Structure 1
Amino acid sequence: MTTGAAKRRERNYRQYCGLAAALDAVGERWTLLIVRECMLGPRRYNELLTDLPGIGTNLLADRLKKLCTLGVLRHRGSAERGYVYELTEAGESLREPVKGLARWGMALVDEVPEDAVVRPHWGFLAIESMADATRCPNVREEYEFRVDDEVFHLLVDHGTTTAARGAARGPALVATTDAATFVRIGSGTCTPFDAVGEGKLALSGDPEAVLRCSTVLGLGAVGAPD
């Protein structure tokens, strides 16, 4: 943890409150976005720099150092081969609060601005945050999402969900789309049915799995899969 002297030098709310203490730790600009980037697995410095356009190298280094000092992140590797940054147990405990913020924020997302940057895994974070497997408590199956050049999967297992990068072992449903459409569907600015009709979303697999996936994600009706 941060030493007392270092803590006094940092800006803080000076409030004896759990929320204020949390914001003192991770409320600075970019900090939770770095946590978001590590939620799907370890990330290298250059990967973080690429997927956080506008952060600047010095600021990223400063935020990573603080997160490691706080025990939210740890780094593995060496200076010669490069480090990877990953969530610690304390960092993993931020997963649900971050997903909750993402879920809340999706209601604020409008159509994609022309100058906006979008990454496939940001949309997948929205999917993960929306997923509620208790809506289909007796189901065990996987759904695969192919978004631009990345692949993710969501395992639904009798009321629980697990999300990860990579292909599903035996997907009941495969959804193929682009990153912007993925985020638009998650935000509700575009329904899956509309995306299918626009040719922006392709579905393949068991038609019943399409309905179950839509239910788990709390989405409206979708078109029939190929």
Structure 2
Amino acid sequence: MPTSRSYGDACGIARALDVVGERWALLVVRELLLGPQRFSDLRRALPGASSNLVADRLRELEGRGVIHRRKLTPPASSWVYDLTPWGRELEPVVLALGNWGVRVPLPSTPTTLSATSVLLFLRSAGRPAPTAPPTSYRIELDERVWTVRAAAGQVQVEPGEPSRADASLRADPQTFNALLDDPSALDAAVSDGSVVAAGDLAALRRLLRSVTVAG
């Protein structure tokens, strides 16, 4: 059930944790950084959390003004959760926490990886050549479609079908993440069926190779 626990500490850090410090709260925020999501999308992205727990976190975050629930316009007409302007201000905090956390060893137990996590990494670490032509991609991960654009040395990501795509790729998040780590594995992944790719494969390779990781 929703919690109203507080640290009872006047420090701004403690007051922030009163709002987003409960288990799974920041991961819900992470999943909304690239756009609104349905409850079912959030459940799929957070398989380690029960439906009731996710629902509790959503109610708490909505009650605190971090997120809001709204209905999409027809023909979708689905109810989705989205960050409020105040909630959106958490983005640099969450991304900085992620950059800090990559030095933490992976858990010994089996891990999950959401599509949003991989795409946030692509957006932050992708450094396409500034002189390369603007390129659009259709990326499908976990049965959700994303538009990825590379232009002017930056990568942009947004949910939904692109109006046009120079190349497309369909995979699970783990496989796509592995390709960002080792772009040379694309041909083998296509051959074994773990990746479906179409269109300008040279442009797709440019996107994968644009990822750089700071040391």
TM-score range, shorter chain: 0.7 to 0.9
Q: Which residue of 149, 166, 171 corresponds with 2:165?
A: 171
- Deviation per CA, 1:14-43, whole angstroms, max 9, x where unpaired? 252x44433332122100111122223322
Q: 1:193 aligns with which of 181, 184, 189?
A: 184
Structure 2 gaps, min length 5? 72-76
- Look up the match of 2:92: 96
**1:152–1:45 distance in 2 versus 1, CA, 3 Å:** closer
- Pairing 1:74–2:46 present: no
User: What's the offset of the Cα at 1:204?
Assistant: 4.2
Whole-Å separation in 1 of the counterparts to 2:107 and 2:123: 20
2-side partners of 1:143 and 1:129: how far apart? 17
Once the two structures are TM-superposed, the CA of residue 90 in structure 1 deviates from its matched residue by 1.3
The equivalent of 2:37 in structure 1 is 43
Equivalent-residue separation in structure 1 for 2:34 and 2:184 (angstroms): 28
- After superposition, the Cα gap between the structure-2 partners of 1:88 and 1:137, relative to the gap in structure 1 and judged at 3 Å, is farther
Q: How big is the shift at 1:164?
A: 1.3
In structure 1, runs of 5+ residues without a counterpart are 1-6, 220-226
Q: Is the 8 A contact 1:172 1:205 kept in 2?
A: yes
**Residue 31 of structure 2 is aligned to residue 31 of structure 1:** no
**1:129 aligned to 2:124?**
yes
Report deviation, 1:63.
Answer: 1.6
Identity across matched positions, percent: 29
| 2-structure distance, mates of 1:136, 1:35 | 31
Whether the 8 Å CA contact 1:99–1:128 is kept in 2: the answer is: no
Q: Is the 8 A contact 1:151 1:167 kept in 2?
A: yes
Match of 1:86 among 82, 85, 93: 82
- Aligned partner of 1:120 in structure 2 is 115
The alignment of Structure 1 onto Structure 2 pairs a total of residues equal to: 203
Provide TM-score, normalisation by structure 2: 0.72
**Aligned-partner Cα distance in 2 for 1:182–1:170:** 21
Matches of 2:144 and 2:134, distance apart in 1: 24
> TM-score, normalized by length of structure 1?
0.69
CA positional deviation for 1:88: 0.9
- Matches of 1:141 and 1:46, distance apart in 2: 31
Partner in structure 2 of residue 65 of structure 1: 59
Equivalent position SS for 1:180: helix
Offset of residue 52 of structure 1: 2.0
- 1:152 paired with 2:146, answer yes
